[in-house]
Structure 1
Amino acid sequence: MSYSTAQITGLSLLAGVVLLYVNHFIQQKRRNPAGLPYPPGPKGYPIIGNLFDIPNVYIYKRFREMSRELGSDIIHLQVFGFHLVVLNTKEVADDLMDKRSSIYSDRPRMPMMNELGSLISDVRMGFGWSLGFTPYNEWWKHSRRLFHRHFQPSAIPQFRPKKTKAVHDFLRRLADTPGDFHQHMQLLAGSVILDIAYGLDIRSHDDIYLQRAEEALRIIDKAGNPGSFLVDIIPSLKYVPEWVPGAGFKRKAREWKVIADRFGTVPFEFVKQSMKDGTAASSFSSIALRDIQETQDRKYQEELIKCLGATMYTAGADTTVSVILTFFMAMLMSPEAQSKAQEEMDRVIGTDRLPTYDDEPNLPYIGALVKEVFRWQQVAPFAIPHRLMADDVYNGYFIPKDSIVLGNAWAILHDDKLFPDPFTFNPDRFLAADVDPRTISAVDYAFGFGRRTCPGRWMAHSFVFIIIASTLSSFRIERPVDENGNVIQPTGAMSGGIMGTPEKFQCSVKPRSREAEQLVRATG
């Protein structure tokens, strides 16, 4: 009997999966001599394990249901011999991600994303230069330290003028074409990040820098989607020649390399040249380049700065849009919250000016509303997965090294023990005199877990505050009506993927008054 090349390739891949499973099985037996049980989980099947227990959509909701069915805050699944551990409550997330962060802070190996092709430079491979995807190593520590220096709470006020300008541009566009609110949000998020990162003045969606950044984002969305590429399951496939049938992913990686390199390098080189010419606008890149010490390895420091500038866009653009969309949807779902927020601003600020950052301490309801936006629907219900760096035992359960560990932020932030009536948008929950301190601290899980918590969270919180305060000061967000005059009721539906983005919805955005519209237009 003869086999085609495709059949031989398929059989080889199947054999590789079986051998990988057997190898993992043997290794786990050797590492767990006491025979401790894994955390509770569904039974599964030989070789494929719990493959059919993992849904394609709303995976975070299913894992919370599974946790309750099994009566355990921590659950365990296996797929092809790989271990997946899901943490569904604040208590277990605190115990493992925070208290044992020294072994729970690595990232899973992602060959398609991080290893195929030298993107950006010889220092970092693939999208591994991105702070969120970088393994727990010295490069990550140096990157995070540099990022923290420029975006810690005491440092971010230097970027307030850029954020305020971007928000005022957004308000004017909203006044001109309110029906295009989604596109205006995309331009708002993209323009402010490129301004802060590189000092670029982005005026429209057609800007070449913005288009290149969006192209890189689309690549990350494809390359980082779990299970999309077999090489992420069998890393040795990355050594297969490009001409072998089934190795089309190698060609994709080569093509994506060019796009990613251009995305990170071109704006960075623009800043360097502008600094030489004396025309550079103030930005993270220009400030960080200026501050490189003579005693430091300049090439290495420039690599850090270049990669962090690119990271700012890949980590912040889509997430910012999702948060603003969630805020708009929340105002449709909870008009009473909108009314309370606007009453507070009218009382504290008045109606003859727009809010500023100086008003934040005097606007507690707006502050609570910002927290509730982050809690109500998370941009990243799971954040980015962690990898366990050493065998661990927790509450009598064995968790093997290399397990993929997911903090279920969605489950934690919809835990009715912490947040009564969790599916209702209610900022007042954060203003109660007897509010549980754990309720306040749990909101941080919207930004990730342990040492891998998003270092840009203070920047994000600051930006979202000024967006929400300025928008509610100027506009009323209402439910639209159809051609027959019937009110279109919002569904509150969210996408079922790994990113928590509101499904497409309609809304009516109108200036609160003629005076409010004049204030908006006067910002130009």
Structure 2
Amino acid sequence: MTSTLAYVLCAAAVGAVVLFSSKHRRRYPPGPRGLPLVGNLFDLPRESTWLTYEAWGRKYGSDILYLNVLGTHMIVLNSTEAAREILEKRASLYSDRSVDITQHCTGWSRNFGFIEYGDKWRAHRRMFHQQFTSSVLPRYHPTLKKEVHGLLRLLADSPDNFARHIRYMAGAATLRIVYDIEIQGEDDPRVATAEKAVHVITMIMTTGSYLGKTLRIYCYIPTWFPGAKFKRDAAVWKIWVDQMYYGFYRQLKAEIDDGQERNCVASNILARFSSEEYNEDLEGTIVNTVGTAYAGGVDTTVATLSIFVMAMLLYPEVQKKAQEELDRVLKRKRLPDFEDRNSLPYTVALVKEVLRWHPPLPTTVAHKSTADDVYKGFHIPAGSLVIGNAWAILRDEQRYSNAHIFDPSRFLTEDGQLDPNVPDPIETFGFGRRICPGRHFADDFSWLTVASVLAVFAIEPPRDAQNNVVEMREDFTSASLSVPKPYKANFRLRFTGATDLIPSPIVE
């Protein structure tokens, strides 16, 4: 224990010496003044990091900030200009990832979004892109419609459980599309396993959750050592993550080898390779790719839809306007379909506004620089962690006026069509070469769900025992995946015969 602690302090001291001996030669971006040895360790926000970074930007009058945590350089980008210049135009220098010991300990290093930039990452992304490019997405539309219609039936039967229903729908649809797994109801244990595994990402991505994220030496300390809680947690979490990545895939592979026909992302990838080509390395790439497809398709979709429901409670006039558009096009005679999208610009704008108003990932996963660089005269050292603050960018008043207000009309022209001059909230999905490759799938899924729910239901605030409306307020979690804290909502059928629009379950 004594030798380990001495090693930790020695490593911190060396980092501090390097930092402070070079400060007089380098002009870093502005930021909080750090302490000797530990730098900005105690300044690092432990919750709602995006708000602190945004406030620091105003305090220091800069769209680029600098912190040093135990010798690790951190750069925060608070503007579109800085993010585009650094993460997009200079993507060759800023597309790497930092190795995070918590990802390895929990099994989430398999997520190719966390893989270091290079040939291995390119192989994963290429395999993923082939299955989720825009031209391929229509093959998934029947499954999305089936599960969205199932959500409508659940909401009609038990509207009080809307949060559970949304999570079930997202999990069921994604498991079917990725692994051809047919979920048997909301209590299916496979959904619970996958949910627990995906929840681990939120835990390990939250800044300050575990000191081991910053100080890698903690990888080698025993589980009983103070500060090693992440190692104890990881032993449990890894079981869930391994089951999600390997359990689902190997079950599918065994069924295919047994001669059963399967139609899903995993089977389509497998069909591209002969048995002679199949080896351990290829299996690892496939497992990582399809597991990442599942993880990326669930939590962000659930978060987006939960934010949507909250926005409808807070802004009933927006809900009314969207429903008027839906009624004009659908005549209350059918549910929306993907072919209706161009005829429903307000609902398209509504989904854009959900992503802009409160992005599920307010600060995206940090990039890592691979060489020294200079931006606006500021030195950015090689190896810096570069964080794009999507929240600050999407709440920038110069880009979106009255940015704190939920207003889909900001994306429309005066005659109600989508305005190509208003920037899409693409920052929600990341930056540069590391932008989420599944963003078009997520957009299709979210849009169909939003349009279908609003076509059938009026989303209203709950009432207390005296039948008074319970006041709603914006209240979100402070973790890296930021979602509304638990709240209640009423889903009321909008008109007589609304349930007749919902197709009966398909028996397969």
Match of 2:429 among 447, 450, 455: 447
CA distance in 2, matches of 1:157, 1:396: 47
Residue 238 of structure 1 deviates from its aligned partner by 2.5
**Structure-2 residue corresponding to 1:393:** 374
Using the TM superposition, give the Cα deviation of residue 90 of structure 1 relative to its aligned residue in structure 2, in angstroms: 0.3
Q: Does 1:172 align with 2:157?
A: no
Correspondence 1:494-505 to 2 at 5 A = 494-505=476-487
Q: Report the equivalent of 1:21.
A: 12
Shift of 1:204: 2.1
Q: Distance in 2 between matches of 1:248 and 1:491?
A: 34
CA deviation profile, 1:198-230 (whole Å, cap 9, x unmatched): 001113232122122122123333344333333
Alpha-carbon distance in structure 1 between the residues aligned to 2:276 and 2:254 = 23
CA-CA distance at 1:190 after TM superposition = 0.7
Write the distance in 1 (CA, Å) between the matches of 2:283 and 2:131. Answer: 15
Task: Tell me which residue corresponds to 1:344.
Answer: 325
Q: Is the 8 A contact 2:16 2:37 kept in 1?
A: no
1:163 aligns to what?
Answer: 144
Aligned mates of 2:427, 2:266 — CA distance in 1 = 29
Corresponding position of 2:356: 375
The answer to whether residue 229 in structure 2 is matched with residue 260 in structure 1 is no
Residues 252, 332 of structure 1: CA spacing in aligned structure 2 closer, same or farther, 3 A cutoff?
closer
Among 59, 63, 66, the residue aligned to 1:69: 59
Stretch of structure 1 that moved more, 237-246 or 278-287: 237-246
Alpha-carbon spacing, 1:242–1:62, altered in 2? closer, same or farther (3 Å) = closer
Is the Cα–Cα contact under 8 Å of residues 480 and 507 in structure 1 kept in the other structure?
yes
1:412-458 deviation per Cα after TM superposition (whole angstroms, max 9, x unaligned): 000010110011111100003599867424x1000011111111100
Name the CA shift for 1:486/1:109 in 2 (closer, same or farther; >3 Å): same
In 1: Cα distance, 2:213 partner to 2:41 partner = 15
> Partners in 1 of 2:436 and 2:241 — Cα distance?
22
Deviates more, 1:281-290 or 1:226-235: 226-235
Shift of 1:171: 0.4
Q: Which amino acid aligns with 1:404?
A: L
The aligned runs of 1:466-505 (5 Å cut-off) are 466-505=448-487
In 1, Cα distance between the equivalents of 2:281 and 2:378?
Answer: 42
Residue 222 (structure 1) aligns with = 203
Aligned position for 1:53: 43
> Which residue number corresponds to residue 123 of structure 1?
none
Determine whether 1:425 maps to 2:406: yes
TM superposition shift of 1:34: 8.5
1:181, 1:400 → 2: CA distance? Answer: 47
**Following the alignment from structure 2 to structure 1, what is the Cα–Cα distance between the partners of residues 435 and 254?**
34
- Please tell me whether the aligned partners of residues 211 and 227 of structure 2 are also in contact (alpha carbons under 8 angstroms): no
Counterpart of 1:310 in structure 2 is 291
Contact 2:206/2:479 (8 A) holds in 1: no
Matched, 1:332 2:313: yes
CA RMSD between the two structures: 2.4
- CA-to-aligned-CA distance 1:102-159 (integer Å, 9 cap, x gap): 1111112211212x4xx8xxxxxx3211022212122211111111111011111111
Q: Deviations over 1:486-512 (max 9, x none)?
A: 111210211122222011222111111
Greater CA deviation, 223-232 or 298-307?
223-232
Q: Given the superposition, is the C-alpha separation of residues 181 and 21 from structure 1 closer, same or farther in structure 2, using an over 3 Å criterion?
A: same
SS at match of 2:113: coil
Q: Distance in 2 between matches of 1:245 and 1:399?
A: 33
Cα distance between partner residues in 1 of 2:316 and 2:450: 14
Deviates more, 1:229-238 or 1:73-82: 229-238
- The Cα shift of 1:240 comes to 4.2
Q: How far apart, in 2, do the equivalents of 1:245 and 1:465 lie?
A: 46
Read off the aligned partner of 1:346 and give its amino acid letter.
D
Q: What residue is the counterpart of 1:85 in the other structure?
A: 75
1:251 Cα offset (Å) = 5.2
Q: CA deviation at 1:384?
A: 1.0
| Correspondence 1:134 to 2:125 | no
2:75 is paired with a residue whose SS is strand
| TM-score of the aligned structures, taking structure 2 as reference length | 0.93
* Sequence identity (%): 37
Letter of the 2:147 counterpart: A
* Structure 2 residues not aligned, in runs of 5+: none
Residue 169 of structure 1: SS of its match in structure 2?
Answer: helix
Contact 1:292–1:301 (Cα < 8 Å) also in 2? no
**For this pair of structures, how many residues does the alignment match?**
504
- Quick one: which amino acid aligns to residue 53 of structure 1? D
TM-score between both structures, scaled by the size of structure 1: 0.90
Contact 1:345/1:363, CA 8 A, preserved across alignment: yes
Q: Which amino acid letter does the alignment assign opposite residue 36 of structure 1?
A: R
Is 1:403 matched up with 2:373? no
C-alpha distance 281-296 of structure 1, shift in aligned 2 (>3 A): closer
Report the CA distance between 1:236 and its aligned residue.
3.3
User: Which of 484, 500, 503 in structure 2 is aligned with 1:518?
Assistant: 500
SS state at 2:360 partner: coil
Match of 1:192, SS state, is helix
CA distance in 2, matches of 1:225, 1:498: 5
Distance 1:439 1:51, change over 3 A: farther
Structure 1 partner of 2:26: 36
Distance 1:254 1:523 in 2: 40
Q: Give 2:7's aligned amino acid.
A: G
Which residue of 1 is the match for residue 194 of structure 2? 213
Q: Provide structure 1 residue ranges, at least 5 long, that are not aligned to the other structure.
A: 120-125
CA contact (8 A) 1:344 1:365 kept: yes
